A and B are shown apart, each in its own frame.
Chain A
């Protein structure tokens, strides 16, 4: 595939797969289907409308909606016009979205009816295109378009902001397309494949692996109308899904669902025997007969699944192994939005459970320092240009073209990467969402009862999310405030903080919510530059 920009990728796909179905979504009892030609026609309409709103090359356009065919259409329309798409997380609250819209300085917005309220009373309230209206937009012919180059910025993707300053990751056409081409070259995707899209499309993993890569190869993409597991399975059965990208928690939920049904139908002994048989045959003759033994489970998944891809958070090797014994491959990959996002990936031919795979074509991975275990560094055409309007922050993570990932790991003798920890303070939740401690501290420190705070991730000790991380805060009460309101006892102070934290939790997106807090009377230890000594505090509390 010889393409350098998203515009060229679009043109090539439309020319090669014109009559094939590009996107579909359940609508009533049937599917609403759009061919590659239909997509192209709608893109031209959206581009004409964007132009009439004054959007030109280099302008930013916000994109907010649930997963649906209009999302990729809007993305392709904006980027192939030479404008910059700003995909926003529809799960955030309006008050979280507004600083991002302002930071990016967006000129227009493309929203679904459901999220129209997010841009009400903003500068772009009258500069919007509503997705439900795409079909009714006038046919204005081909819009005169500026040249789009590989080095042009295609997208600004926001991750959770830190200390109130949004962190926008600037990705060029080259960053994104090189990643799409590399990923596509590892798998024999083609028009016979049907991808089920369940992860939020604003997430770079879904944008590249679940949308652009399959779109570039003429695949069909089915958008799940619901994230409920039975609805996902229903989609798989009805539309013969072959590939799906998911986060570990989703696969865990599938597995638990299967096991609950096994338990309800009192088939536990039979399943244990089948697992044993599958393991035995694999061990003795190296053959995976899981697909035959667990035919009934494959039927539940539609019977056509070729493989699943997992990213966003660490996949439990035992879960991957259990799926493997049932004849399902879950291929784990690794990356970050700063690398558009895929850096390494297991493939059908080269899959080492427990690892995140080998570097994808054109990407180099090395470990910093001389020890075998250290910070993972990455180099390649997919590495971002930098953080939007944040030169200093960019220079800290990009050094001589190498991306300092903040993750710690090692490479085995065959080049498979294993991740063992992190150098950064970011908290990775079970759903693969990153939470930045300073962002939560910023919100906590605004509370009247709080003088200062330190937020970190602690391992969840029980439940389905056991072993993953949750947000814990160390809080120093504002004694002056408590004296003023006449509350001095330890319990009374704790109760007041608890009340304020609960109120704060209600205002925050669910993945950012504070799961627990510890009250500390002494001031937090700081460096000479007044930075909190997190490491020291974590050690003191026995948090790893």
Chain B
């Protein structure tokens, strides 16, 4: 990716982020809560999914599967290693959505 296209992707990402920030975070929190069966109010954005919320690799993959279904994306299972918190998941989805939008354009 060139610097220019990187900048424009990043700008699009920021726009997407700003328009969706509240909704996206809330939606993802609801989705994670449903998969791991822990009430939303007990899930903190910065809580560690693995040590604080008991997510293991199988559950992590299932969270990704739920994200795929909801947003029409394909989060690679390998990315589980980069994810520690709910905030990381939100960031990952934002990136995937930007990528999806770029492909569509």
Q: Is residue A276 contacting chain B, with contact meaning CB distance below 8 A? A: no
- Given contacts A228-B62, A228-B77, A465 and B54 within 8 Å (CB-CB): yes
Interface centre among B55, B59, B64, B69 (most CB of A within 10 A): B59
CB-CB under 8 A from B68, the residues of chain A are 228, 230
- Given contacts A462-B37, A464-B36, A470 and B62 within 8 Å (CB-CB): no
Q: Is residue B51 contacting chain A, with contact meaning CB distance below 8 A? A: yes
Encode contact with B along A489-516: 1 for CB under 8 Å, 0 otherwise. 0000000000000100110001101111
User: Which one, A227, A250, A433, A514, contacts B77 given CB within 8 A?
Assistant: A227
Can you name the residue of chain B whose Cβ is closest to the Cβ of A468? B54
Interface size class of B (residues with CB under 8 A): 20 to 34
Q: Is residue B13 contacting chain A, with contact meaning CB distance below 8 A? A: no
Encode contact with B along A406-431: 1 for CB under 8 Å, 0 otherwise. 00000000000000000000000111
Encode contact with A along B73-90: 1 for CB under 8 Å, 0 otherwise. 000010000001000000
Q: Is residue A460 contacting chain B, with contact meaning CB distance below 8 A? A: yes
- Given contacts A513-B50, A514-B51, A506 and B64 within 8 Å (CB-CB): no
- Complex CA gap A433/B59 in Å reads 14
Q: Please state if B58 and A463 are interface contacts (CB–CB under 8 Å).
A: no
**Nearest CB in chain A: distance from B31 CB, A:** 10
Interface size class of A (residues with CB under 8 A): 20 to 34
Q: Please state if A505 and B58 are interface contacts (CB–CB under 8 Å).
A: no
- Complex CA gap A515/B77 in Å reads 23
- Complex CA gap A466/B48 in Å reads 18
Q: Is residue A88 contacting chain B, with contact meaning CB distance below 8 A? A: no
Q: Is residue A226 contacting chain B, with contact meaning CB distance below 8 A? A: yes
- Complex CA gap A385/B62 in Å reads 38
- Complex CA gap A230/B42 in Å reads 27
- Given contacts A228-B77, A505-B51, A510-B50, A464 and B65 within 8 Å (CB-CB): no
Q: Is residue A91 contacting chain B, with contact meaning CB distance below 8 A? A: yes
B-facing residues in A455-489 (Cβ within 8 Å): 460, 462-466, 470
**Nearest CB in chain A: distance from B101 CB, A:** 22
- Given contacts A228-B77, A505-B48, A510 and B56 within 8 Å (CB-CB): yes
**Nearest CB in chain B: distance from A123 CB, A:** 26
- Given contacts A228-B77, A229-B65, A231-B65, A511 and B36 within 8 Å (CB-CB): no
CB-CB under 8 A from A260, the residues of chain B are 34
Q: Please state if B60 and A510 are interface contacts (CB–CB under 8 Å).
A: yes
Q: Is residue A247 contacting chain B, with contact meaning CB distance below 8 A? A: yes
Q: Is residue B52 contacting chain A, with contact meaning CB distance below 8 A? A: yes
Encode contact with B along A237-256: 1 for CB under 8 Å, 0 otherwise. 00000000001011001001
Q: Please state if A505 and B50 are interface contacts (CB–CB under 8 Å).
A: yes
Q: Please state if A429 and B84 are interface contacts (CB–CB under 8 Å).
A: no
Encode contact with A along B13-57: 1 for CB under 8 Å, 0 otherwise. 000000000000000000000111110001000001011111111
CB-CB under 8 A from B53, the residues of chain A are 463
Q: Is residue B61 contacting chain A, with contact meaning CB distance below 8 A? A: yes
Q: Please state if A463 and B36 are interface contacts (CB–CB under 8 Å).
A: yes
Q: Please state if B58 and A431 are interface contacts (CB–CB under 8 Å).
A: yes
- Complex CA gap A381/B84 in Å reads 44
Encode contact with A along B84-99: 1 for CB under 8 Å, 0 otherwise. 1000000000000000
B-facing residues in A243-276 (Cβ within 8 Å): 247, 249-250, 253, 256, 260
- Complex CA gap A348/B51 in Å reads 38
Q: Please state if B58 and A515 are interface contacts (CB–CB under 8 Å).
A: no
- Complex CA gap A157/B69 in Å reads 37
User: Which one, B51, B54, B60, contacts A502 given CB within 8 A?
Assistant: B51
Q: Please state if A470 and B54 are interface contacts (CB–CB under 8 Å).
A: yes
CB-CB under 8 A from A460, the residues of chain B are 54
**Nearest CB in chain B: distance from A118 CB, A:** 14
Can you name the residue of chain A whose Cβ is closest to the Cβ of B49? A510
- Given contacts A227-B77, A229-B62, A230-B65, A431 and B51 within 8 Å (CB-CB): no
CB-CB under 8 A from B58, the residues of chain A are 227, 247, 249-250, 253, 430-431
CB-CB under 8 A from B57, the residues of chain A are 91, 431, 510-511
Q: Please state if A515 and B51 are interface contacts (CB–CB under 8 Å).
A: yes
CB-CB under 8 A from A231, the residues of chain B are 65
Q: Please state if A462 and B38 are interface contacts (CB–CB under 8 Å).
A: yes
CB-CB under 8 A from A229, the residues of chain B are 62, 65
Q: Please state if A515 and B52 are interface contacts (CB–CB under 8 Å).
A: yes
Encode contact with B along A429-466: 1 for CB under 8 Å, 0 otherwise. 11101000000000000000000000000001011111
Interface centre among B54, B61, B65, B68 (most CB of A within 10 A): B54
CB-CB under 8 A from A433, the residues of chain B are 56
- Complex CA gap A226/B78 in Å reads 10
Could you list 7 A-B pairs, sorted by A, with CB under 8 Å? Answer: A227-B58, A229-B62, A253-B58, A260-B34, A460-B54, A466-B37, A510-B60
Given contacts A253-B62, A431-B57, A502-B51, 5 further A-B contacts (CB under 8 A): A229-B62, A256-B35, A464-B37, A510-B55, A511-B56
Q: Which residues of A contact B (CB under 8 A)?
A: 91, 226-231, 247, 249-250, 253, 256, 260, 429-431, 433, 460, 462-466, 470, 502, 505-506, 510-511, 513-516
Q: Which 3 A-B pairs have the closest CB atoms?
A: A228-B65, A464-B37, A463-B38
